[in-house]
Structure 1
């Protein structure tokens, strides 16, 4: 439905942090299915020494969840665009609960993320969903909240 080039125009993520390759299915505003193929050339593998075993190349769970969350961001930004509005600021995956990882994934694996929007609340969205590999459940997200805040309301400390 949506390819990589279109995704780059929807969410502010860019290489190397755009972790969604394609939108496979969508029920507008309610549910999205995205794909992410893990490559051995991902930046997270750059510093690994030669000769390490298979488990050294397990994709980091934090990036797995970031990729899942970006699917939700795509769905949210499509809703914002349909309302003829502009994002009020950056999207932040603020919290996740009841996250269960069932197994690791590695270069060459193509993930299928399912993200459901359970509720839109102002400039916040509550989501849940799963990640699959070849039909096998890889991870579950019981509850996630993402927020959109104007940049001036954010404080970053070094």
Structure 2
């Protein structure tokens, strides 16, 4: 971390896999950029046609499920908290606490790149709450407030 600016840089897939317990097919973020302390980050998810959810959602009209966008928001926030060091250095597990004010605005389809913009609202001990917006090419596609608790594994 750059002590003067609080920036953490970015997390590639290897760093994400070290930070989170999630694995394919439930890993919903490919990269995290612009991390600043535990305050802000942008998660990147490249949506591809070969993902398993499209076999049933929907075979003739593939639409990325909104609930998986919410999960991507939470995973981005989890990577940020763990990489910031604010959660300590032991192996961690991340558990969802809350989902509030969720809204889905536009469909996301294979070929889209989702950006999860997460901004910290509050923190209490090992619990964090974030305001999150999912965007595709700058257009808001979903939003929510998510909360999670990080515990030693």
Pairwise TM-score range, normalised by the shorter structure: 0.7 to 0.9
Note the 1:52-131 alignment, pairs <5 A: 52=60, 54=61, 57-80=62-85, 84-87=88-91, 90-131=93-134
Residues 66 and 142 of structure 2 are in contact (CA less than 8 Å); yes or no, is this contact kept in structure 1? Answer: no
Q: What stretches of structure 2 of length at least 5 have no aligned partner?
A: 1-9
Cα 1:149/1:105, change in 2 over 3 Å: same
Question: Which has the larger share of helix?
Answer: 1
Cα 1:26/1:150, change in 2 over 3 Å: closer
Question: Which has the larger share of strand?
Answer: 2
Say which one has the larger Rg.
1
Any idea what the Cα deviations from partners look like across 1:85-135, whole Å, max 9, x if unmatched?
A: 314x52112211111111110111100110111122112111112110001
Q: Which of 18, 25, 31 is residue 16 of structure 1 equivalent to?
A: 25
Q: CA deviation at 1:146?
A: 0.7
The count of residues paired between Structure 1 and Structure 2 equals 144
Q: What stretches of structure 1 of length at least 5 have no aligned partner?
A: 152-158
TM-score under structure 1 normalisation?
0.82
Q: Which residue is equivalent to 2:150?
A: 148
Q: Distance in 2 between matches of 1:28 and 1:39?
A: 30
Q: Distance in 2 between matches of 1:100 and 1:79?
A: 28
